[in-house]
Amino acid sequence: MRIPAAIALLFGAAAILTAAESDFHIPFEKYTLKNGMRVVLSRDNAVPVIAVYLIYDVGARSEEMGRTGFAHLFEHMMFEGSANVKKGEHFKYVQSNGGTMNGSTHPDYTDFYETLPSNKLGLALWLESDRMRSLAITPENLKNQQEAVKQEKRLSFDNQAYNTAIFDSWPALIYGNFQNSHSLIGSFEDLNAASVDDVAKFFRTYYAPNNAVLTIAGDFQVADAKKMVEQYFGDIPSQPAAKRPDLTEPARTEGKTETVPDPHARVPGIVIGWPAAKRHSQEWYALGMLDAVLTGGESCRIQLDLVKGKQSVIQFQAGLGWPFESFNDFKDPGLYGAFLLYKPTFQAQQIVDQVQEEIDRIAKDGVDDKELNRVKSVLRFGKVTGLQSSMERAKLLGQYELLDGKPEMVDQDFTNLFTVTSEQMQAAAKKYLTAARRDVMVIQPAPPAPNGGNK
């Protein structure tokens, strides 16, 4: 990944900027139902498509010790049927009407979404409201999805190169607070121990209208959309506010290094991370632009100097919040992370030193105008391609409302990022991306476990 997905997504748009960056604006209207559900509407009648995006204020960092994996389990449970929608019918209704749909689990939220022809807005709202008010939580459904999640973990994580190290070992290395450090997927032991009562309580607490944001973007009439939202969601009762976990990290004076064997890896990899600046701070924007200098596009520094120049790195990914969050949904505390696969003829410490040299060069010399303008052009191109999608606009507005209570921060973040100067990038590199503050995880190819590594 040359352009971090988080950057490309955030700075996509429907047209190239021809005026000052401060002119950037995604129009929206925001209001709240009596039951506490927040609604964001963003109308664009360019194409006859609507996107419905429902985001819940619950993610892996909401989970209690001994109850890990519940957020991810519910991503699956939400498709098991409800009072008026049988198991599997959610997919059938959407796909048979020419739409697409999905859901995903994150550290700080879980989301569900549909893209449909604009005359099917009512269908999407009905489907989402029915499972919010009457999800079928039964012993059979729970057992089915416990097994489905475990099978997903086996296939997509335990038996895939690098994934177990990144999703299980990396959080435990970089964070000291359990809320931040446990696996996004959860453990088999916690999944097996989950009861119907446990799951029902989790659902009542977090999958309530007052713990959700509904965003609609695309081709619709505002008055009609408001009427349908009230019709389908207005009478769903609210629940007592969920207790929010303390995400504060213990103070640290130095970084840590760990080596993780991986029987599925064919070439070594390395993950490097630094605790990052606070969300929406000036230093946060500077780190975002610095990341683009390092990893954005075919002319970025890592590509030119490590992949083509030293020929040490094979491929790389990086970004604010990597790998669990992104620029736009980066929530404190977070990090700047990079993942690099490198040639076995090099040592892990050599790769760490090469990356640090690139960062230290920015800290010492800054970035000249030519390079900075190139980077901004790359991000502007992302603006052209990203937000042409109604769904991407819906996601951004919903995420900013959930995390900040301000969908307009989409506009402000774009403006602030593009005002970053070379001097600000220098200062951020010196303060945050130092050798003393970094954590390093080396992923080394290893022989298969005696039992084949299966659980």
The string of pLDDT tens digits covering residues 254-306 is 999 999 999 999 999 999 999 999 999 999 999 999 999 999 889 999 999 99
Q: What share of the chain is helix, strand, coil (3-state, %, to 5)?
A: 45, 15, 40
Q: Please name the residue that has the structure tokens 């976990």.
A: 245
Of the candidates 225, 214, 213, which has an alpha carbon nearest to the alpha carbon of residue 45? 225
Alpha carbon distance 243, 380 (integer Å): 40
Q: Which two tokens stand for residue 220?
A: 């619709």
* Per-residue pLDDT at 415: 87
Query: One fold for both 27-233 and 257-386+405-445?
Result: yes
Instruction: For 415-443, give one letter per residue: b (16+ CB within 10 A) or e.
Output: ebbbebebebbbbbbeebbeeeebbbbbb
* Per-residue pLDDT at 336: 97
Q: Which two tokens stand for residue 37?
A: 């559900």
- Amino acid 104 reads S
Integer CA distances (angstroms), 292 to 120, 158, 384, 438, in order: 39, 31, 17, 19
* Per-residue pLDDT at 258: 98
The string of pLDDT tens digits covering residues 119-137 is 999 999 999 999 999 999 9
CATH superfamily of 27-233: Metalloenzyme, LuxS/M16 peptidase-like (3.30.830.10)
- Amino acid 81 reads G
Alpha carbon distance 378, 398 (integer Å): 25
Of the candidates 369, 370, 371, 347, which has an alpha carbon nearest to the alpha carbon of residue 294? 371
Q: Where are the domains of the chain?
A: 27-233, 257-386+405-445
Give the chain's largest Cα–Cα span: 64
Residue 111 DSSP code: E
Question: Per CATH, which fold does 257-386+405-445 belong to?
Answer: Cytochrome Bc1 Complex; Chain A, domain 1 (3.30.830)
CB contact at 8 A, 68 and 147: no
Q: Please name the residue that has the structure tokens 């990086």.
A: 318
Preceding omega of 333 cis (within 30 degrees of 0)? yes
* Per-residue pLDDT at 384: 61
The string of pLDDT tens digits covering residues 31-61 is 999 999 999 999 999 999 999 999 999 999 9
Which residue ranges in the chain fall short of pLDDT 70? 1-23, 383-384, 451-455
Integer CA distances (angstroms), 377 to 4, 17, 381, in order: 15, 10, 6
Integer CA distances (angstroms), 438 to 5, 136, 254, 433, in order: 23, 45, 8, 7
